[in-house]
Structure 1
Amino acid sequence: MTPSTVFNREKESAMTLVRRRPLLPGALLSALLLATPMLAAAQQQDSPRNRLDVQAQAELQVVPDEATLNARLWERTPAVAQREDTRTDSEALAKARQRLEERAATLIQTLEDAGLERDAISAGSLRVQPESLQGKSDGESEPTPLVRTRLERPFQIEISDLDDLPMMLDALTEAGVNALDGVTYDLSDREQAADEVLTKALEKARHKAELMARTLDMTLGPVINVSENHAPVFQPRMMAMSADAAPESAGSNAEYRPGTITLDAMVNVSWAIEPAQSEQ
């Protein structure tokens, strides 16, 4: 078989494949032809010159109506030299834990006597942490390192009526808490506040759009797109407090002003617009 014969057969096979390739059905071709002008019209309708894009942000100041108190109780084992035998440490731990549990029970009872429901008191898990101390030096040798163990229980107290806050602080100090980690002010109904600030942002966006359209002699059409730039941000308000400062106000008519919590929301809204009258 000569090279020319091989070439002719390959050419005939290629032509046969071309002839056998099916053409696009007439219905599909017609649909594509009809869809082309429709896509072009849609792109023209969504073009920037036929829409007005507005961004608006709103802020809301809300007075909190509930609070959370965080407090801690702790007990320590006696400090011993680090190099000494610590086989009796388990007994010291047991005694420290017993003292801690007794104080915790007293704290809960004191809060209940002050009018707080048991469900509003949350007692955290026991925490055990070693502590290192520097012993005293006798002037002739280096100070001896000392070690002890600290056992701690955290407490969280939910206060639904802020008028009860001073009384609860007095109860905590009366129970002898070792640390008050501050007050966190919050809202009982966050959803309502979030809805309110979002509504304000949308109303502000409409006001801006109407102002722009009126000033530029345009007519607003329907809303064609709306989105949140970010959801309403909610941040509970913290008030620092120390256990040392609390006794100074205990038993007094001290006032605790919660201040306000700030929420904000941002939206993007797009309206369809008609051209200015001079262009019609």
Structure 2
Amino acid sequence: MRLIALTSLVVLGLAACAPASAPHISPAETRTSSLDVSATGKVSAAPDRATVSAGVVTEGKTAQQAMIANATKMNSVFEELKAAGIPESNIQTSQLSLQPRYNYQDRQTPTIDGYEARNTVTAKSEDLQSVGAMLDALVKAGVNNIGGINFSIDNPDNAMNEARAKAISAAKLKAETMADAAGVKLGKLLNMSEANSSGQPRPMMMQAGFRSDSMESAPTPIASGEQSLEVTVNLSYAIEQ
């Protein structure tokens, strides 16, 4: 009995002297602290291409009459575009439609009293100085519907790269400023991504409308202005402990 009691005391003493188990560290506690910033870089550039949308709307008592009248005027439109130096590869039909015109009478079934034909083309030109004169020539040839003008940059890569570099520089400066204000030190760059970019200029409408054939005046004034290209980037830096 004395031997059993002594053995029990030894076991209890060893258990009391055993070192405590190591604390458990969760993944969240080992995660690197980071500073996330974003910035946008902007660059303005002059457009070098104009895309004009223009067409002819004609009416006739029959569908054939409406289409024949439309085709006659559109042939003149194509000739004017070629005379303006627009290559055929830059001319494309964007809409062709034929619709009946209904005559609505009170409490009677609508009847067709004619047809309307529409034919619209888009033409691209790199000669921005001649766009106004080209529009006037198109109107003279029979165009009676101009949808608008879209100015664009043919190759925006260089401008977009410049905007991208500005965005990264601005994001780095923002991260450094925030770290200094918070009293911490920036570590290595953990992640970098491009949030969005905008390289498609907004449409610009012409400044003047149609002119009568009998009017003698300067060509329709067109202002291409400048286009703004933007790139937004996200940077994530480690914070040194």
Normalising by structure 1, what TM-score?
A: 0.65
Paired residues for 1:185-264 under 5 Å = 185-216=151-182, 218-228=184-194, 230-241=195-206, 245-247=209-211, 251-264=217-230
SS in 2 for 1:238: coil
SS in 1 for 2:143: coil
SS in 2 for 1:239: coil
Output one character per residue of 1:142-200: Cα deviation in whole Å (capped at 9) or x when no partner: 9x955211111111111122112112112211212020111111111133333322221
Aligned to 1:110: 80
Long gaps (5+) in structure 1? 1-35, 79-91, 276-280
Aligned to 2:67: 97
Distance 1:133 1:189 in 2: 50
Aligned to 2:140: 174
1:54 paired with 2:37, answer yes
Q: Which one has the bigger strand percentage?
A: 2
Cα deviation for residue 100 of structure 1 reads: 1.7
Cα deviation for residue 106 of structure 1 reads: 1.1
CA contact (8 A) 2:63 2:98 kept: no
Provide the alpha-carbon RMSD of the alignment: 3.3
Aligned to 1:6: none
Q: How many residues align?
A: 216
Distance 1:62 1:123 in 2: 29
CA contact (8 A) 2:103 2:113 kept: yes
Output one character per residue of 1:186-240: Cα deviation in whole Å (capped at 9) or x when no partner: 1111333333222211110111122334455544332111123x32024432233
Q: Which one has the bigger helix percentage?
A: 1
Long gaps (5+) in structure 2? 1-23
Distance 1:112 1:76 in 2: 26
Normalising by structure 2, what TM-score?
A: 0.75
Distance 1:125 1:238 in 2: 19
Distance 1:152 1:266 in 2: 42
Percent identity of the aligned residues? 27
Q: In structure 2, do the counterparts of structure 1 residues 43 and 57 end up closer, same or farther at CA, with 3 Å as the change threshold?
A: farther
Q: In structure 2, do the counterparts of structure 1 residues 147 and 254 end up closer, same or farther at CA, with 3 Å as the change threshold?
A: closer
CA contact (8 A) 2:190 2:238 kept: yes
Q: In structure 2, do the counterparts of structure 1 residues 148 and 59 end up closer, same or farther at CA, with 3 Å as the change threshold?
A: same
SS in 2 for 1:64: coil
Distance 1:121 1:251 in 2: 27
CA contact (8 A) 2:41 2:230 kept: yes
